[in-house]
Amino acid sequence: MKRTREDKAMEIVWQSPAIRPQPQDYIFRDGRRHVRPYYFEFICHVKNRWAGKTIVDMFTHEFKGRPYDYYARVSAVKSGRIQVDGEMVPVSHIVKTSQKISHFVHRHEPPVMTWDISILQEKPDVVVVCKPASVPVHPCGQYRKNTVVGILEAEHGLAPLFPIHRLDRLVSGLLILARSASKADYFRQQIEGGMVQKQYIARVAGEFPEQEQVVDANVNHDARECRSTTEISQSGDDTPVKGKTACTKFTRLSTNGIHSLVLCEPVTGRTHQIRVHLQHLGYPIANDVLYLSKHVNGRSSEGMGADRAAANSSPSPPSGFRENLSTEPVDSDEDFSIDPMCTNCPNLVPKGYDVYEEALWLHCVRYSAPGWTYECPYPDWASLS
């Protein structure tokens, strides 16, 4: 990349996915793990609907996490922070389909809680861990180093790792990671072949029925809203049912009359399946604000929302999230260098993220198949006493 005098004076080192996370990349403060902001190149290719727009208009309309002034008047384009096919262009440049757009940014990752990632088993071909809530499994959206894969590499030198299943960011529990692509394929073939049994526990609102409950309802996930809904075909109705087929078995383990501990056994693996199926039954997870229905809000535990994660993989921070009211100014000499063009500096936390999210009361406890079984201890909230 062609750099300005200002950039050279700052001694910028541009990072790529090939640069591995290191222990010194993390800052620990007030029970949260932050990532020291770093310079990173985001790459995208011009889509058909973008073609014919100026480079500034394209970014202004498609990547709304930064203001117009950043792209035009503050000169992200003029300075070379935004390039087309590896070259600097004027702000009047008209983009064409399939051109490569590079956006060089001062990247601020959202924080996660400082809970340890406990290694339950470590073998030559597989690593089994207990994933804490709030940490994504692998790089996604605005998370790269603040992930299970990134932290295990930085703190334990474990790389490469291939997660063979996923847990939502705010879900905790058993996570199996293969240490080779061939081992990952072995696990995935068993999962796709229906040979793997999965067990979770959830703490739900209300007194769950004693008898086993089976929910066989399609799950329709709206990626834009980050929310799923259920739908069941009505007898004699030929209208197509939306979503994907999904089935979950539920068994009550204990109850105190206010909350119940429920064993959840998903037969399929749809996005938010357990959460939305429990809502469908009328017993949503007791701190799951996203799926608490109006009928049970009075029985829920107080807490903040559990789904304000970054779901946007664009070069800019995602739009549509509420402004974070608790971003933290930090000592730049101690923690990181302030970038005068960065729209997040001097705050450590990126805009639009809730740093006080609540860990969801949903925990993966067991995965098993012919020839192997892995288990994870119960969390503290599983006790109803």
Active-site amino acid positions: 168
Q: Are 324 and 353 in contact (CB under 8 A)?
A: yes
User: How many CA atoms within 13 Å lie on the side-chain side of 138?
Assistant: 12
Residue with tokens 């075909």: 233
Eight-state DSSP code of residue 146: S
Q: Are 71 and 62 in contact (CB under 8 A)?
A: no
How many angstroms separate the CA atoms of 151 and 156, rounded?
8
Which phi and psi (to 5°) does residue 378 adopt? -70, 150
Q: Are 251 and 262 in contact (CB under 8 A)?
A: yes
Residue with tokens 């690593």: 127
Residue 190 CB-density burial (10 A; 0-12 exposed, 13-18 middle, 19+ buried):
middle
Biggest distance spanned by C-alpha atoms of the chain: 72
CB within 8 A of 291, min separation 6: which ones? 272, 275, 276, 278, 279, 284, 285
How many angstroms separate the CA atoms of 63 and 312, rounded?
10
Q: Which of 311, 312, 314 is nearest to 105 (CA)?
A: 314
How many angstroms separate the CA atoms of 186 and 178, rounded?
9
Give ∠ CA 369-373-377 in degrees, rounded to 5.
135
Q: Which of 35, 54, 69 is nearest to 341 (CA)?
A: 69
Q: Which of 6, 110, 114 is nearest to 338 (CA)?
A: 6
User: How many CA atoms within 13 Å lie on the side-chain side of 102?
Assistant: 19
